């Protein structure tokens, strides 16, 4: 009985893997993150101390929303900080 030919297979080469190391954040990231949190805190404190006269008197209690938005933006940045 005739023997079948053996096929030559190319050696297995695994696909190039991605680098698992994450890149560090830019140098301005941490100061901006902390600056947003402090700015939001100062905004809310100024609003309460001046009895709603400052920072923007015509928008009233929306000043609280603006202050908390700055704080939340800073805290949101902390989730991406390395």
Per-residue pLDDT at 32: 97
Split at pLDDT 50, 70, 90, the class of 58 is very high
Question: pTM for this structure?
Answer: 0.72
pLDDT in tens, 1-47: 777 777 788 888 888 887 777 889 999 999 999 999 999 999 999 99
| Residue 29, in any domain of the structure | no
CA dist 47 and 63 (Å) reads 7
Residue 53 lies in a domain: yes
**Are the C-beta atoms of residues 26 and 17 closer than 8 Å to each other?**
no
- Number of domains present in the structure of the chain: 1
CB 41 within 8 A of CB 67: yes
Span 60-70, average pLDDT: 96
Instruction: Tell me whether residue 28 is in a domain.
Output: no
Q: Is residue 1 part of a domain?
A: no
Residue 11 lies inside a defined structural domain of this protein = no
Domain-located, residue 27: no
Rounded Cα distance between 59 and 53, Å, is 10
Q: Where in the chain does DSSP place strands (E)?
A: none
Give the structural domain span for 54.
Answer: 36-78
> Would you state the pLDDT for residue 18?
77
């Amino acid at each position: 009985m005739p023997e079948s030919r053996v096929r030559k297979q190319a050696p297995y080469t695994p696909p190039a893997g991605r680098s698992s190391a994450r890149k560090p954040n830019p140098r301005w990231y941490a100061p901006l993150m902390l600056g947003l949190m402090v700015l939001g805190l100062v905004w809310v404190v100024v609003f309460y101390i001046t009895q709603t006269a400052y920072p923007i008197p015509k928008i009233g209690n929306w000043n609280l929303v603006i202050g908390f938005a700055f704080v939340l933006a800073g805290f949101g940045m902390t989730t991406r900080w390395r």
